[in-house]
Amino acid sequence: MAICRLRSLLSLSKCSLPLQFSSLGRSSTEVPSQFETIGFIGLGNMGSRMVNNLIKAGYKVAVNDKNSNVLKKFSDMGVETKETPFEVAEASDVVITMLPSSPHVNDVYTGPNGLLHGGNVLRPWLLIDSSTIDPQTSRKLSLTISDCMLKENKDHWQNPVMLDAPVSGGVLAAESGTLTFMVGGSEEAYLAAKPLFLAMGKNTVYCGGAGNGSAAKICNNLTMAISMLGVSEALALGQSLGIAASTLTKVFNSSSARCWSSDSYNPVPGVMEGVPSSRNYDGGFASKLMAKDLNLAATSASDVGVKYPLTSQAQEIYTELCQNGHETEDFSSVFRHFYTGKDEI
């Protein structure tokens, strides 16, 4: 019944939103009170762009980051800034975090002046973590949040809830508001939060219980890494056998080898425009982030007793790539630096 009611509310909210907003925040009459102020912690390449899209959608936002220069930038835009995560929590109905790793997330939630600094009584009824972290950490934090109480009830919510909602699409999708959110946790909370996700992205996928969003993200990036390695290895082999990478790419993309790494994110410089390989592997998804995600996948596989030979091999290759000084280059640079592939002239 509750889920059906939320679906109806969601449908009504979509119809009632105005197409344009003339200020940084909506008035309290334009949004439900449960979304009156959105807190956002983590203003890096992804988080800063996600915040910009929330502002464009008309939400009132309060932000925090360790980088004072970034905070000043948002303050100059008229966005409310806070010195600590706890101050964000005290000022927000919903808090979203976008952080580099599990230790960072734990620190923001449970560290000094963290979101839980005030004990087990919280103001925000919903906490959304969009960081890419291990499912175990997501599940532990979700359990911790579920044991807390709200300072005051929001709608029918009597206890705070947490969603793990990592994203796919990278910086370009964060900029354009076309991210995909993979969401784990309460389905009722997911449906309630959907307007927020759609202010920052174009797709949302409900993945099941707590930690399943994080699990989906790890599996997605594992597949992406192995796919990129396979395409890079095949293209480098083709070059050595006398086939131009552009020709072999045409073969792949019109046959059974077609995949995202061949038709949308080709790793060979000169074959495709608008991708990192076309600009000396600048931008995109850094190799050090891929190595981190593969470490998460390997640890998770080991924890549950699943064989992971391809994960291990990919983990070794990307670790080596980073150790050789290419950690900030896009992960497709494995074609050049590991397989010694050649540019298409």
Select from 290, 265, 291, 270 the least CA-distant residue to 280. Answer: 270
Question: pLDDT value at position 82?
Answer: 97
d(CA 36, CA 64): 17
Question: pLDDT value at position 28?
Answer: 38
* Token representation of residue 131: 């960081």
Lowest-pLDDT choice from 4-13, 32-41, 61-70: 4-13
Question: pLDDT value at position 157?
Answer: 86
* Token representation of residue 303: 């924890």
On the CB side of 64, CA atoms within 13 Å amount to: 23
d(CA 316, CA 338): 11
Question: pLDDT value at position 330?
Answer: 96
Average pLDDT for 154-178:
92
194 given a catalytic annotation = no
Cα of 314 vs its chain's centroid, Å: 21
Question: pLDDT value at position 16?
Answer: 34
Question: pLDDT value at position 158?
Answer: 86
Question: pLDDT value at position 30?
Answer: 62
Average pLDDT for 311-318:
98
Beta strands (DSSP E) in the chain are 37-41, 60-64, 80-81, 94-97, 121-122, 126-129, 149-150, 161-164, 167-168, 179-184, 201-208
Select from 85, 76, 72 the least CA-distant residue to 41. Answer: 85
User: How does residue 32 score in pLDDT terms, banded at 50, 70 and 90?
Assistant: low
User: How does residue 153 score in pLDDT terms, banded at 50, 70 and 90?
Assistant: confident
**pLDDT of 31 over the 70 cut:** no
Query: pLDDT of 202-220, one tens digit each?
Result: 999 999 999 999 999 999 9
3-state secondary structure of 250: helix
Q: How far is CA 163 from CA 142, 193, 238, 259, 267, in A?
A: 7, 9, 45, 30, 34
Query: pLDDT of 180-210, one tens digit each?
Result: 999 999 999 999 999 999 999 999 999 999 9
Question: pLDDT value at position 14?
Answer: 38
What values do phi and psi take at 14, rounded to 5? -65, -40
**pLDDT of 51 over the 70 cut:** yes
β-strand partners of 49: none
Query: pLDDT of 217-241, one tens digit each?
Result: 999 999 999 999 999 999 999 999 9
Average pLDDT for 1-17:
41
Select from 294, 292, 276 the least CA-distant residue to 330. Answer: 276
User: How does residue 291 score in pLDDT terms, banded at 50, 70 and 90?
Assistant: very high
Catalytic: which of 217, 250, 288, 292? 217
User: How does residue 160 score in pLDDT terms, banded at 50, 70 and 90?
Assistant: very high
Instruction: Write the DSSP symbol of residue 25.
Output: S
Lowest-pLDDT choice from 3-12, 38-47, 72-81, 316-325: 3-12
Query: Is the pTM for the entire model greater than 0.85?
Result: yes
